[in-house]
Structure 1
Amino acid sequence: MPLYEHVFIARQDLSPAQAESLIEHFGTVLADNGGKLVENEYWGVKTMAYKINKNRKGHYAFLRTDAPAEAVQEMERLMRLHDDVMRVLTIKVDAHEEGPSAQMQKRDERGDRRERRA
């Protein structure tokens, strides 16, 4: 089955428990349609670059899935209809990276930054 990565932003006035229950809800939607939620990360409340629906902040969540295209389309459709979800981004990937995403890594753990010159 194809591999996907999803990021969605939920409204800021939700509690962290409610935001994590959204992750579980969309994971069950995938499972009901023949897919599998491989891994999920709750990134917490972050400030956005611009307002979306009069909100300055939002709960960010990251999902790694292994699902057929029909299951992903159904999950995206339900995300767009859900009142608490403001934005959704889905990307098809060749392989899932091991370990935490770049958003969850500490700055000194990321090896892709070079030293500044004085």
Structure 2
Amino acid sequence: MTNPDPVDVGQTDGTRVGADPVAAVTLARRLAEVTAGLAGARGELSALLHDIDAAVGVGDSAHAFRMGFAPAAETIAESLQDAEDRLGGHRRALVAGVDALVDADAEASARLGRSTR
């Protein structure tokens, strides 16, 4: 995502940051797609569990099956939700970081424009 800086880091104060906005947008889009895919998987899991519940029926065996299966299914659903939330957070952080770089670049450009007049 970063491009090599043509200025040697040893020649700067070490505060230069370079980012490829196209790569950042592509990465943010991919993160959003994966997050949506996880949400879809959670929905499919919920529908599958509903179908399994209907197929199992009633009685002691069905109750025992549900008691054994439900905690594992809940753990899976929580893990999917956690992954979805984390990826969403990473995407938001990426977008905020790129926005901050763009704003800082625009501010620096404006300052340079004023100082050369």
TM-score above 0.5, yes or no: no
Larger radius of gyration: 2
The structure with the greater share of residues assigned to strand is 1
The structure with the greater share of residues assigned to helix is 2
TM-score, structure 2 normalization = 0.24
TM-score, structure 1 normalization = 0.24
